[in-house]
Amino acid sequence: MINDVKKNAEARMKKSIEALRNELSKLRTGRAHPSLLDHVMVEYYGSEVPLSQVANISSEDARTLTVTPWEKPMVQKVEKAIMTSDLGLNPATSGSVIRVPLPALTEERRREMGKLVRQEGEHAKVAIRNIRRDANGDFKTLLKEKEISEDEARKAEEDIQKLTDAHVAEVDTLLEAKEKDLMEI
């Protein structure tokens, strides 16, 4: 039972780390990367779908993304979706290809992005601590029901704490790398 709780907690903590990695990949660092447009939604025959399902996204060079919709009538809708996204990008259409130039990051924008990175990191740490709290609660329940001894419960809580510390350290490492990446010119 203790091992089940530990494995569950570890799996959930790993998912929190993956979610953080996913969020950090969306924050741009000055280089054009197709995943930048992952969360842009486009209206496609009456329903909202991710941009990647209606167009091919690639990076032309370090500062330009190219978006090629698979259907000609989608060009205007895709362009509008990119413009209205929270990314602050101004796409330029030439025929059926949409070029999305990425403006250079200013010092002020880099600092804002740094704050966002730290905020995402804090969310991940809170999620990991909540998982620890849930696991410790499960151990207390098992102890109350006399399914484990006090020593086993204490040892299990120590193991969960070590697991939590390791995952929080991994979050810190990811944040440090992303902030360093943001501050590079």
Among candidates 161, 113, 128, 114, which has minimal Cα distance to 20? 128
Q: Round the average pLDDT of the chain to a whole number and report it.
A: 86
Report the pLDDT value the prediction gives residue 57, as an integer from 0 to 100: 87
Q: Any residues with CB less than 8 A from the CB of 128 and at least 6 apart, and which? A: 13, 16, 164, 167, 168, 171
- In the chain, the domains with their CATH numbers are 2-26+106-183 (1.10.132.20), 34-101 (3.30.1360.40)
132-161 pLDDT, tens digit per residue, is 999 999 999 988 998 888 899 899 999 999
Rounded distance between C-alpha atoms, residue 42 and residue 112, angstroms: 27
pLDDT band, very low/low/confident/very high, at 17 (cuts 50, 70, 90): very high
* Structure-model confidence comparison of residues 37 and 128, the more confident one: 128
Checking if the pLDDT of 13 tops 90, the result is: yes
More confident residue, 148 or 185: 148
User: Would you state the pLDDT for residue 30?
Assistant: 62
| Model confidence at 177: pLDDT above 80 | yes
